[in-house]
Amino acid sequence: MDKSGKKIRVLVAKPGLDGHDRGARVVARALRDAGFEVIYTGLHQTPEQVAETALQEDVDVVGLSILSGAHMTLVPRIKKLLQDNGMNEVMMIVGGIIPEDDAEKLVSEGYAEQIFTPGDPLDKITGYISNNFK
Amino acid sequence: MQQLVAELLKGNRRAAARMISHVENDDPLKRMLLTELYPHTGKAYVIGVTGAPGSGKSSLVDCLLQQMRRDGLKIGVIAVDPTSPFSGGAILGDRIRMQDHALDHDIFIRSMGTRGSLGGLSRSTREAIQVLDAFGKDIILIETVGVGQSEVDIVKAADTTVVVLTPAGGDSVQTIKAGIMEIADLFVVNKADLPGAERTTTEINIMLDMKKGDHWRPPVVQTVSVQNKGLDQLWELLQEHRNYMNESGKLETVRLERVKRELTDQVEYLLKNSVWEQVKEEVKLEKLVEEIANRKNDPYSAASELLEKISFFDQKTGKDD
C-alpha cells in the first residue's frame, strides 16, 4: 500500500512471442504475498493489448516479462503507447534475459525504471516497488 | 473532478478507469463523484455470472462478449477475484481469458479484488457498476469470485443471475441445498463434454420441477466454452429472461428494492460515521474498553450511555466527505 493507504496495482504482462511464463507467475505470486493487487494478462500479448489493459485496470506499475530477446523493440513500444494513453506516471519495470548493455540503455533512455535479471531475489523486486510508493 | 465526470460521460476510457479507482479506494471525492454520476445511471442491464472456482466463468464471459458484440452491444465487465486475508494482495487473473477483446473499445474490462468482502463480490462492485453504467455500457457483466454454497451477494446487484456448474459436482442432494442453487435465473452446465453432464443436467431439472408457482422456470443450458458450444442458446435465453423481467414488471420491482437498499446503506453509513466521529471526540474509548474488560462496566450499558451523549446526525459529515 502507498502512503495514503491505497492498494498498489501491478500489471504483470508477457508481451511478444515468448511462451514461458513460469517466471512471471513466480513474480506475480511474490507480489501478491507482498500485498499488491496483481493483474496478470497471460501469454502472447501485443504491445497494444498491454497498454490498453494497463489503462482499463488503472495500474500503478507495469511489469514486463520478456525472455525472447525482443526487449529493445517491445519495451520502448509499450512505453510509447502508455504515454499516448496519458499514463506517463506509470512505473515500468522489466524482467527477463536482458544483457547488461541493453538494460543500461533501457533505463538511461527512460523506457524503464529498473531491470531485473535471473538471480535477482524476489524481495528485490517487491522491495523496489514498495520503496517507490512510500 | 467535474472534468473527470465530463470526460467519462464523453466516453473517455481513462476517465472511467480512474473513476473506478477512486470509488474502490474510498477516495474523499467518492461520494461527490457518485452523486454527479447518478442521474446518468439506470440504463444498463446487469448480468451476474457465478459458480465454483474453475467452473469456467471467465471463459463463458469471454464467449458471451463475442455473442453480444455481434449484436452491436457495448459491454462493461467487472471480474472479481479474492484478496488474500493474510497479505492483502491478490492475483486478478480472470481477464487472461478475455484478452482477445482487449483492443475492442466498446468493451471495458476491470478486475477487482474482494478487499475483505465475503459475499462473492468486491466491496465496491456496486459503485463500479454505476460508473460503467454512466459510461454508457448497454450490458454490464459481473463475474463473481469462485464461490462455494452461500456467497450470493450477486443477486443484489444483478438483473439476471447465471449459475455455472460442471458435471460430477456431487449427488442430487446438492441440488436441493439452500444458497447458490436458489439464486439462478439460468443454469449453465459448462464443460458438458465431460462424463456426467447429462446426469447433472437432469438433477438440476428435477430440482427445478419440484418447485411450483414461479412464473419464470430457470432453464438449464449445456455449454462447452472451449468449443464455443451452446453459447447461441445461452445468449438467447439470457435475452428471453431479460424480456420476461421487463414484461412481467419484475425488473422494476427488483430495481426499486435495490434503490431502497442503497438508500438504507447510505443512511447507515453516514449515521455510523457521524456517530463514531463524535464518540471519539467525547470519550476515551480505550479507557472504557478497559473498564469493560475488567468487568467494572458492561458493553450493553456502556453503549447506551455513549449514545446518550451525542446528537445523531451532523449535517456537516454528510456534505464534507
Nearest to B110 among A34, A41, A56 (CB): A56
Nearest to A86 among B14, B20, B111 (CB): B14
Residue A50 lies in a domain: yes
Interface predicted TM-score (ipTM) of this complex, two decimals:
0.94
Asked if B17's CB is within 8 angstroms of A55's CB, the reply is: yes
Domain limits for position A71: 9-132
Asked if A6's CB is within 8 angstroms of B89's CB, the reply is: no
Number of domains in chain A: 1
Nearest to B99 among A38, A42, A55 (CB): A42
Nearest to B95 among A28, A39, A48 (CB): A39
Find the CATH number of the domain harbouring A100.
3.40.50.280
Would you tell me how many other CB atoms lie within 10 Å of the CB of residue B136?
18
Interface mutation vs chain B, best among A2, A52, A87, A129, most B CBs within 10 Å: A52
C-alpha cell at B129: 457498476
Question: Least CA distance to A87: which residue of chain B?
Answer: B14
C-alpha cell at A14: 508477457
Strand runs labelled E in B3-138: 45-51, 75-81, 90-92, 107-113
pLDDT single digits (tens) B223-233: 999 999 999 99
Q: Which long-range contacts (CB under 8 A, 24 or more apart) does B52-56 make?
A: B52/B146, B52/B147, B52/B148, B52/B164, B52/B165, B52/B166, B52/B169, B53/B145, B53/B146, B54/B146, B54/B166, B55/B146, B55/B164, B55/B165, B55/B166, B55/B190, B55/B191, B56/B164, B56/B166, B56/B190, B56/B191, B56/B223, B56/B225
Residue A55 lies in a domain: yes
Residue A4 lies in a domain: no
Over 80: is that where the pLDDT of A42 sits? yes
Over 80: is that where the pLDDT of B214 sits? no
C-alpha cell at A131: 520503496
Strand runs labelled E in A2-90: 9-13, 37-40, 61-66
Residues of B in contact with A4 (CB under 8 A): 25
Report d(CA A39, CA A37) in Å as an integer: 7
Asked if A37's CB is within 8 angstroms of B90's CB, the reply is: yes
Report d(CA A98, CA A67) in Å as an integer: 8
Residues of A in contact with B128 (CB under 8 A): none
Task: Average the pLDDT over A92-102 and give the result.
Answer: 97
| Element of type H or E holding B285 | helix B285-293
Residue A98 lies in a domain: yes
Residue A20 lies in a domain: yes
Residues of B in contact with A9 (CB under 8 A): 21
Question: Least CA distance to A49: which residue of chain B?
Answer: B102
Asked if A32's CB is within 8 angstroms of B90's CB, the reply is: yes
Give the pLDDT of residue B50.
96
φ, ψ for residue B143, nearest 5 deg: -105, 120
Over 80: is that where the pLDDT of A5 sits? no
Residue A121 lies in a domain: yes
Over 90: is that where the pLDDT of B86 sits? yes
Asked if A86's CB is within 8 angstroms of B17's CB, the reply is: no
**How many C-alpha atoms does A47 have within 13 Å on its Cβ side?**
16
Report d(CA A14, CA A74) in Å as an integer: 10
Q: Which residues pair with A15 in a beta bridge?
A: A45
Residue A2 lies in a domain: no
User: What is the largest distance, in Å, between two alpha-carbon atoms of chain B?
Assistant: 69
Residue A65 lies in a domain: yes
pLDDT single digits (tens) B282-297: 777 888 899 999 999 9
Report d(CA B192, CA B38) in Å as an integer: 41
C-alpha cell at B197: 453432464
Over 80: is that where the pLDDT of B317 sits? no
Structural domains in chain B, sorted by start: 42-248 (3.40.50.300), 257-320 (no CATH)
